[in-house]
Amino acid sequence: MPSLIAKTPLEGTWPVTHGGLTLAEVELTRVTSVSAPKVGRDLAAGLKALGVSFPKPNQFTGFDAVRMVWTSMDQAFMIGGDPSGLSGAVMTDQSDGWACLRLEGAGADQALMRLVPLDLRRDAFPPGAAARAPLNHMQMILMRLEPDCFELLVFRSMARTAWHEIEEAMKSLAARAGLV
Amino acid sequence: MRIEGKGLIDRDSRVGFRFDGRDYMGFKGDTLASALLANGVRLVGRSFKYHRPRGILTAGSEEPNALVEILEDGQQTPNTRATVQEIFDGLQAKSQNRWPSVRFDALAINDLAAPFLSAGFYYKTFMWPRAFWEKLYEPAIRRAAGLGSLSGRHDEAVYEKAFAFCDLLVIGSGPAGLMAALTAGRAGADVILADEDARMGGRLLAETGTVGGQHGPDWVEEVLGELRAMPNVRLMTRTTVTGVHDDGTYAALERVGLHVAPRPNLPRECFWRIVARQAVLASGALERPIAFPSNDRPGIMMAGAVRAYLNRWGVAPGKRVTLFANTDAARATARDLMAAGVKVAAIIDPRPDASTVEDCPVYAGAQVIDTAGRLGLSRITIAHRGSEFRIETDCLAMSGGWNPTVHLTCHKGGRPVWNEALAAFVPAPGAVAGLIPAGSANGAMSTAACLREGRDAALSALAALDRSAPDVPLPEAEDDTYGIAPLWHVPGKGGMWKRQWLDFANDVTVKDVKLAAQENYASVEHMKRYTTQGMAPDQGKNSNVAALAVLADATGRGIPETGTTTFRPPFAPVSVAAMGAGGRGKGFAPQRFLTSHEASLERGAPMIEAGMWYRPSYFPRPGEATWREACDREVAMVRHAVGICDVSTLGKIDIQGRDAARFLDFVYTNTFSTLPVGRVRYGLMLREDGHVMDDGTTARLGETHFLMTTTTAAAGQVMRHLDFVRQAYCAGWDVHCLSVTENWAQFAVAGPKARALLNSVLDAPVDPEAFPFMACGPVRVHGVDARLFRISFSGEEGYEIAVPARYGEALFRDLLARAETMGGGPYGMEALNVLRLEKGFITHAEIHGRVTAFDIGMERMISPKKDCIGKAAAQRPGLMGPEREQLVGLKPTLPDQMLTAGAHLFTPGEEVCRASDQGYVTSVGPSATLGHWIGLAFLKNGRARNGEMVRVVDHLRKIDILAEVCDPVFHDPEGRKLRA
């Protein structure tokens, strides 16, 4: 048992709600990058055993327990699963490099479109869609879980800036309510 | 004067506001302009150059005169158009560019000096003496001429940026825009309808005509009701589309909170980037003034604006109104006024054959040749059939016809084309791909034509979007003739006091344009710059066509041959605060925090920014007054006990695959395939041009697994470089690169007691025999799997221990506590810099992009046995040899003398000038170990000049000293300590 105390990237930050939107940190247990120029039989079988498959570009597979999200050419991040049973791919532990934030509520896409230059209309970016895109000036991996629920990964060191900027967008959106 | 029963204002909601220190009342729905007119305020500002009294000219965003300052909470926003600003309870505004008051402005003296202030006067007048320009002339001109002023404080209000996407963007919500949005909306397309006005409807709100048998505004409400109910339609009021950019991207500025009292978090403005597959330009048309003598008095307004104030805001801008217009359409102004019970004293129509059948005196073939009234119009003089006579009037409505609002069609280089029948420029066909002009913007001058063009434009857009077209019937509407006969200016007897104003905003007259032509500024672009016509905040919206018509006349050319200046973005002024929303102060860039951040702050460490990372500069202890004291102590602490430093900011790149070693051999100058597992090697990386890109250490964690470290500053650049090399040059190789910088918290533990400290936390102690200098391997610290590297950037026995970042803070605090018990502690960037300087280790202060491996004395690191990126280029002539500036050490001749980075080196006795420059200082620091300042520098043929004296001159800091050239390694040159 480690005797060092572990901290999440946004330890001490509580979920905030502005208008109908809630922003919260999601604790990442295990994140593994899986790189494979070709998804061979071994890798496919290993992923299948975890309930996921290698995602196509700009998509993710799986959901809560194990998720595979496309991150770049020949590469995906496995979120939540134990990679020890996988073979046929190069893997790197990424569990501590990223902070995960969840933005939920009606109009979550509108808040994100203050910061993300992507078309997040539901048809263009439906549940199951993923993208590597800038969040203002930051790197981000964005996933739409449900029509009004997004999760996004940002660099651990920038988590506080990401939190601040998303919260500002939520606040200014909420302040518009009732404006005639 | 308010007219009972007229207007679309909410008469149940009274609104109190303040203008120039006086309280007024208006109604909800009023603009500042309509409310001031309703209160009988005609004089609202002073002109730019001559400080002429000016009133409200228009009812839209093109307003050139009525620019005011809005005051709130110590802030003031200048140049706000009173015609755009809506009133709200507590609004405070004041007139600008006047002193002491708008009624008595001392700088109106400029007007008396007008004979000397003609176009180009400053080019002619203030040429001599030359030195006076900056010190005297320019400040005086800037004081006398100008717009509003700022508070001088930072604008700390909230602004916003946002993105939007749609199938069809409809710009403007008049009859054409509404029909376009309705047609596309019914077809199921994603539509954004944007209008700069607070209320949608465009000219239909300002006219009395009917659409589909209904009162215009009622039809507008009905259509808006249907559009609001469509989930695929988004209505954006107060949103001005300001620019057309690449690939269907439109910039737009939304006034979010400027029409209400400030509230927390409510943005003042939002700067939108709207990406539209198709767009319809239904921006309408702008009415143009006629340049007759003294046409700038308060009370002289655009005829369409007078109509708008009457019909939309229920305000009669005068009690005895006269109309001077050259179209049939403008007669509506007189008719609407009379129907509302306002006296119309006369219609002056310059067309000799114009109809005279109206319920008021009509003078066909007549012109206004003079006006009177110092602070507001009181009388006009008319020339009619050879005689001249005067009419008492307090409001003259003028119209010289309408100019289609073509601005956005010019943003991609399109030039509008002249339409003789309309006497106006219309959009060039296909000027912007995917942008379809419709309605008045396209030259349609009746409501019926606008409705039709709007619908047809939407149908074209739907076809381009591969959507089937719905059946949208056209409502019946007015389809009257426009009947224009161009009249640009009324020739007067001339004289300085009967100037015919073209550009109200910049005080440009007909005479100025003629003078430009006379002085051979005959091209429209030259005329514009010579006279400054069209260069004010309204960007020539009111004056452009008339000015070039006068120029055409003066140069004996037609208008099409003269051509027009075109328009760039933005269509209307955009505040920089909106474009840079969120970027003020710390919003400029992300802040990157180390896991040790809180612990460092608790110890009072000031932070410095490096590659967006916040790194502790030093850790002050009680009694230490300066950074220098802390730095000296921290250096000594590392040299004699043990120091801890968070080095997590260094880039870490995980490289795996069967070809990983081969790949490293290719990107590094030296060889990595021979590196044994469990060992670390220093590597140097070149760019393709042979110059040094970065340096760092790479560890071999397994046969096919390496971990590269980069400098903090170049972490992103190196990652990008590796990705490029892998994809472009090494396709098919089995090599995978991925950044793990953020995944690991890494701490340097350095000093004679480093090993003892480490052994107190490691599950299994380090054996110096098994773990020599440049060894690496897995360890466990407090039960956590970690990585240990025996490397040193300080010259002491040094280790770097890396744990998963979640444990970073806990390990840092633990290491500090132990170090302090052992007489050590944390050290910051200042001490780190001194420690590495004492060892002659380089950073990006040295490898700044213009140096080669030869320059830093590492040319032998370019392996002769293999190829690498940059190898061939590094051997080019001129990149090696005595002519190069080479890395050397410097020490001042007197021990208390300070060296400064950026200082230049000269040979003593030679002239200190650019031609004799011998090099420059890159890094300096106070060496606590040696007791004097030391520095690294690049010196011409430096390695051969060891022991020579150089003159170190810092022109900026006024330092001029002598220093001795020495080896860059000052401390423990044999490296015995780090190998201990």
Looking at the fold, whether A101 and A158 belong to one and the same domain comes out as yes
B563 domain-assigned: no
Q: B426 and B546: one domain? A: no
Q: Is residue A2 part of a domain?
A: no
Residues A65, A121 share a domain: no
| pLDDT beyond 70 at B703 | yes
Q: From the CA of A63, how many Å to the nearest CA of chain B?
A: 23
CATH number of the domain enclosing A129: 3.30.1360.120
Phi first, then psi, for residue B521 (nearest 5°) are: -90, 65
Q: Is residue B810 part of a domain?
A: no
B750 vs B691: CA distance, rounded Å: 31
> Are B185 and B268 in a shared domain?
yes
Q: Which amino acid does the sequence have at B400?
A: G
Claim to verify: residue B124 and residue B142 sit in the same structural domain = yes
Whether residue B779 is contained in a domain is answered as no
Given a cut of 90, whether residue B700 has pLDDT beyond it is yes
Q: What is the CATH number of the domain that holds B909?
A: 2.40.30.110
Q: How far away is chain B from the Cα of A27, in angstroms, using its nearest Cα?
A: 11
Mean pLDDT of B932-937: 98
B160, B741, B810 member nearest A4 (Cβ): B810
Which of A5, A165, A172 has the CB atom closest to B267's CB atom?
A172
Q: What is the pLDDT of residues B392-417, one digit of tens each?
A: 999 999 999 999 999 999 999 999 99
Do A42 and A23 share a structural domain? no
Q: Are residues A158 and A71 in the same domain?
A: no
Minimal CA separation from A179 to chain B, in Å: 8
Asked if this assembly's ipTM is beyond 0.90, the reply is yes
Number of domains in chain A: 2
Last residue of a domain, one of A51, A67, A94: A94
Q: pLDDT tens-digit profile of B805-846?
A: 999 999 999 999 999 999 999 999 999 999 999 999 999 999
Q: Is residue B731 part of a domain?
A: no
Q: Which of B350, B381, B399 is the last residue of a domain?
A: B399
Say how many domains are in chain B. Answer: 5
Say if residue B242 is in the same domain as residue B228: yes
Whether residue B367 sits in one domain with residue B277 = no
Residue the block writes with tokens 């990006």: B844
CA dist B328 and B400 (Å) reads 11
For position A178, what pLDDT does the model report?
Answer: 84
Question: Cβ-count burial of B121 within 10 angstroms (0-12 exposed, 13-18 middle, 19+ buried)?
Answer: middle
Residue B59 is assigned to a structural domain of this protein: yes
A72 and A60 in a common domain:
yes
Q: Does residue A138 lie in a domain region? A: yes
Each residue of B140-196: pLDDT tens digit?
Answer: 777 777 788 888 898 889 999 999 999 999 999 999 999 999 999 999 999 999 999
Q: Which chain A residue has the Cα nearest residue B813? A: A4
Listed in order, strand segments (DSSP E) in B62-120 are 67-72, 75-81, 91-95
Amino acid (1-letter code) at residue B501: W
- Asked if A86 and A104 sit in the same domain, the reply is no
Nearest to B742 among A8, A124, A157 (CB): A157
d(CA B688, CA B724): 12
User: Would you say residue B822 lies in a domain?
Assistant: no
pTM for the whole structure: 0.94
List, for residues A13-46, the tens digit of each pLDDT value: 999 999 999 999 999 999 999 999 899 999 999 9
Nearest CB to A97 within list B190, B727, B743: B743
Q: Which of B543, B399, B537 is nearest to B66 (CA)?
A: B537
Q: Are A109 and A23 in the same domain?
A: yes
Residue B164 vs residues B247, B252, B271, B272, B274: alpha-carbon distances, Å:
14, 10, 11, 7, 5
Which of A75, A94, A113 lies at the terminal end of a domain, its last residue?
A: A94
Q: Which domain holds residue B144?
A: 1-155
Looking at the domain assignment, is residue A120 inside a domain? Answer: yes
Cβ under 8 Å to B: A residues 3-32: 3-9
**Both A102 and A169 in a single domain?**
yes
Measure A158 CA to nearest chain B CA, in Å.
5
A72 and A108 fall within a common domain = no
Is the confidence at residue B495, as pLDDT, over 70? no
In this structure, what CATH number is given to the domain that contains residue B371? 3.50.50.60
Q: In chain A, what residues touch B256 (CB-CB under 8 Å)?
A: 176, 179
Q: Which residues contact B491 (CB under 8 A, 6 or more apart)?
A: none
| Same domain flag for B8 and B75 | yes
Same domain, B522 and B459: no
Is residue A10 included in any domain, yes or no?
A: no
Q: How buried is B898 (Cβ within 10 angstroms: 0-12 exposed, 13-18 middle, 19+ buried)?
A: middle
Domain span at residue A162 reads 15-28+96-174
CATH number for the domain harbouring residue B533: 1.10.10.1100
Q: E strand or H helix at B965, and its extent?
A: strand B959-966
> Are A158 and B592 within 8 A, CB to CB?
yes
Q: Do A158 and B590 touch (CB under 8 A)?
A: yes
| Greater pLDDT, B73 or B181 | B181
Do A35 and A21 sit in the same domain of this protein?
A: no
SS3 B964: strand
A131 and A109 in one domain? yes
B614 is a domain residue: no
The reply to whether A108 and A138 lie within a common domain is yes
> Could you report the per-residue pLDDT of B356-376, keeping only the tens digit for each?
999 999 999 999 999 999 899
